[in-house]
Amino acid sequence: MSDAAVLIVGAGIAGATLAVLLADAGVPVTLIDQRPSPPAPTSGQPLDARVSAIHAAAVGLYERLGVWSRLAAGRQAPFGRIEVWDAGSAGRIGFDSAQVGQPWLGRIVENRSLLAALHERLREMSATGVLAPATLADWRVDERGLTAGLGDGRELTAQLLVAADGAASPLRERAGLACVHDDFEQSALVCHVATEHAHADTARQRFLPTGPLAFLPLADGRCSIVWSTNPGEAQRLAQLPDGDFALELAGAFDHRLGAVTAVDERRVIPLRGLEAERYLGPRLALLGDAAHLVHPLAGLGANLGIGDAAALAHQLVRAHRSGRDLGWVETLRPYERGRRSENLPVVQAIRGLQRLFRVDNAPLRALRGFGLLAVDRIGPLKRLLTAAACGLTDPALRA
């Protein structure tokens, strides 16, 4: 008799989303994480620097699961437009939700608020258990299932173990699943800033020779910035006095929102990428950052993990309802095949864009600019890209 059908290690956005999806369908699931379950931020608490752009299709999934309504209005904000331009050429492109008949492209949400909403929903669901803080010490597999040993000596049984334990993924490493690693030779400086002009619910990104600079709209009228640049420059920017940093930031952003009038705490995050060569091991499935990690220039990291969770849940719910073993490779193979075919082109495209915009020679700058302007004028292609920005092209998230 299993303690749960599925044991998920890692209660971040991808892992918690999978747990809610499975519990909502009546699949017994246990979620464990080394950190305590996150509390909901209080109304007076400042917005955390870690935010994600969640596209419309993923928001729709959370609405259907009863998660999104638990988020306070001040912790998430819609964006209806995306503007992108190249500092080294005349190239620019814009996407508008109206082009695909949507009210908005997505929402910028505080990560800890989304996690708190997911965990609050989990606490209401009878098919789930949450062990946090707790750690997985080891596991062993046989033809009937798996037995997992926790750090405190307890043992759990399940049919399937899901590694949602992040890019460093101890579970992936212990299972011997190889990865292709990328060192982008960049760090991201992140913080929230106030600007002279309103953001008008628009996400903006300028490609600089050293990396992209994004301004994402927040509910309180400020913007969350993600400034990707070389590590030494990121550290220099982080250590500047607020006034000097505000002047450099406004100039780097082409004064698109006027002056930067206030700056909060700055953080620097090293940027690396990976793609697991396989998403499956014996009674093991990789999820989210444990399977793939991308550069933040397209804002897709969280959405890829949410898509993984939806795709894996689809296969597991079908198997559970038909009485099949959830850990069988025949049960899991469609998940691996479908998500690798969905994720790998995205990983490769983002890798290519990141390298393309860092090459600084005149012919290539001109070609980049021409390409952006051409795509901006090709209606069908632009609508397809806009639909992708909404998540409408991800088969795992279609309603």
Report the pLDDT value the prediction gives residue 111, as an integer from 0 to 100.
94
Mean pLDDT of 210-215: 92
Report the pLDDT value the prediction gives residue 299, as an integer from 0 to 100.
67
The pLDDT of residue 268 is above 80: yes
Tokens of 135: 């750690």
- Integer distance in angstroms from the first to the last C-alpha of the chain? 34
Task: Mean pLDDT check: name the lowest of 89-93, 133-137, 322-326.
Answer: 89-93
Mean pLDDT of 207-235: 94
Kindly report the backbone phi and psi dihedral angles of residue 278, in degrees, each rounded to the nearest multiple of 5, phi listed first.
Answer: -135, 145
Q: Which of 310, 225, 208 is nearest to 266 (CA)?
A: 225
For residues 290 and 126, which has the higher predicted lDDT (pLDDT)? 290
Report the pLDDT value the prediction gives residue 185, as an integer from 0 to 100.
87
For residues 30 and 346, which has the higher predicted lDDT (pLDDT)? 30
Report the pLDDT value the prediction gives residue 130, as an integer from 0 to 100.
93
Which tens digits make up the pLDDT trace of 331-389?
999 999 999 988 887 776 666 665 655 556 566 555 666 566 665 666 676 677 677 77
Name the strands in the sheet holding 76-79, side by side, starting at the edge strand that comes first in the sequence: 51-55, 106-110, 76-79
- Are 335 and 323 in contact by the 8 Å Cβ rule? The answer is no
The pLDDT of residue 273 is above 80: yes
The pLDDT of residue 89 is above 80: no
Which tens digits make up the pLDDT trace of 62-71?
999 999 999 9
Which residues are within 8 A (CB) of 11 and not within 5 positions of it... i.e. 6 or more apart? 19, 31, 32, 33, 35, 37, 115, 119, 130, 132, 164
CA distances from 123 to 36, 98, 118, 120, 163 (A): 13, 37, 9, 5, 21
Report the pLDDT value the prediction gives residue 1, as an integer from 0 to 100.
36
Task: Mean pLDDT check: name the lowest of 48-62, 83-97, 135-149, 282-296.
Answer: 83-97
Average model confidence (pLDDT) across the chain: 89
Which residues are within 8 A (CB) of 74 and not within 5 positions of it... i.e. 6 or more apart? 43, 47, 219, 220
Provide the whole-model pTM.
0.93
Percentage of the chain beyond pLDDT 70 is 89
Mean pLDDT of 383-398: 78
Which tens digits make up the pLDDT trace of 97-121?
888 888 999 999 999 999 999 999 9
- Are 14 and 287 in contact by the 8 Å Cβ rule? The answer is yes
Report the pLDDT value the prediction gives residue 197, as an integer from 0 to 100.
98
Report the pLDDT value the prediction gives residue 311, as an integer from 0 to 100.
97
The pLDDT of residue 397 is above 70: yes
Which tens digits make up the pLDDT trace of 31-58?
999 999 888 888 888 888 899 999 999 9
Q: Is the alpha carbon torsion for 130, 125, 168, 161 positive or negative?
A: positive
* Band of residue 168 on the pLDDT scale cut at 50, 70, 90: very high
Can you state the percent helix, strand and coil of the chain, rounding each to 5? 40, 30, 30
Percentage of the chain beyond pLDDT 90 is 68
Please list, residue by residue across 300-335, b when 16 or more beta carbons sit within 10 angstroms of its beta carbon and e when fewer do: bbbbbbbbbbbbbbbbbbebbeeeebbbeeebbeeb
H, E, C per residue of 109-159: EEHHHHHHHHHHHHHCCCCEEEECCCCEEEEEEECCEEEEEECCCCEEEEC
Mean pLDDT of 132-141: 95
Mean pLDDT of 178-203: 94
